[in-house]
Amino acid sequence: MIKVLFVCLGNICRSPLAEAIFNKKIEEAGIHHQFKSDSAGTSDFHIGELPDERTIKCAGKHNLTINHRGRQVNRTDLRDFHYIIAMDDSNLRILNNLKERFGFQTKQIYLMRDFAEGSEGQSVPDPYYGGEEGFEEIYTILDESIEGFLGKVIQTHQIYV
Ligand code: 4NP
C-alpha cells in the first residue's frame, strides 16, 4: 500500500481538493486498491470542519467526491506516509521543521508543483481570501501536478495500469 498525504495550511481548500482529484484518477485507472490517501493542514485553524464551501462547489463541478474533516498534520503522518506533498513553500518549510523535530530527518517532503513540468518550485496559491475563480485556478494547477505525480509513482513502483 502506497500512502500519500497532501498538506496545506488550513486543510479546507487546497489539500482536500488535491486528495479528491488524486482519488478520482487512481479510481479511473483501476489502481485505487494500491493506495491510501489523506490530507492534513499545518495549522489547527479548521480541525473537525468540513472543507470550505467553495472547495465543495468546485469539487462538485468536476465530479469529485470530497469526504473529509479538517485535521492537523502529526508525528504519525511523518512516520507513516510514503509521499507527503506540500502545496506551498510555507507548508514545505513547516513540514521540514517537523520532520527534524520528530526524528524523521531522512524523510523527503515533496512540493506539489515540482511534479508539473515547467512549474517546478512554484506554489499552489492559497485561494482562501480570494473569490471562486481562485478555486478553478487551483483545480487546474492541481490536476496537472497530480497527473505528473501519478506518472512518477506508477513508474517508480512499477504499477501495472
Ligand atoms: P488551505 O486554505 O490552506 O488551502 O486550506 C486556507 C484555509 C484557511 C486559512 C488559510 C488558508 N485560514 O487562514 O483560516
pLDDT tens, per residue, the chain with 161 residues: 999 999 999 999 999 999 999 999 999 999 999 999 999 999 999 999 999 999 999 999 999 999 999 999 999 999 999 999 999 999 999 999 999 999 999 999 999 999 999 999 999 999 999 999 999 999 999 999 999 999 999 999 999 98
For residues 42 and 60, what is the distance between their CA atoms, to the nearest angstrom?
A: 25
Q: To test the ligand 1 pocket, which listed residue (49, 52, 126) has its Cβ within 8 A of the most ligand atoms?
A: 126
Q: Which three cell numbers stand for residue 146?
A: 497530480
Looking at residue 145, what DSSP letter applies? H
Question: Are 66 and 55 contacting, i.e. CB atoms less than 8 angstroms apart?
Answer: yes
Q: To test the ligand 1 pocket, which listed residue (7, 12, 21, 42) has its Cβ within 8 A of the most ligand atoms?
A: 12
Strand partners, 72: 41
Q: Which three cell numbers stand for residue 91?
A: 507548508
CA 132 to chain centre: 19
Q: Is the CB of 11 under 6 A from ligand 1?
A: yes
Question: Are 22 and 59 contacting, i.e. CB atoms less than 8 angstroms apart?
Answer: no
CA of 126 from ligand 1 middle (Å) equals 7
Specify the pLDDT at position 25: 98
- Report domain extents, the chain: 2-156
Q: Is the CB of 58 under 6 A from ligand 1?
A: no
CATH of 2-156, one of 1.10.10.60, 3.20.20.10, 3.30.300.130, 3.40.50.2300: 3.40.50.2300
Exposure string for 62-91, b = 16+ CB within 10 A, e = fewer:
eebebebebbbbeeebbeebebbbbbbeeb
Report which protein residue has its CA nearest ligand 1's atom 12: 10
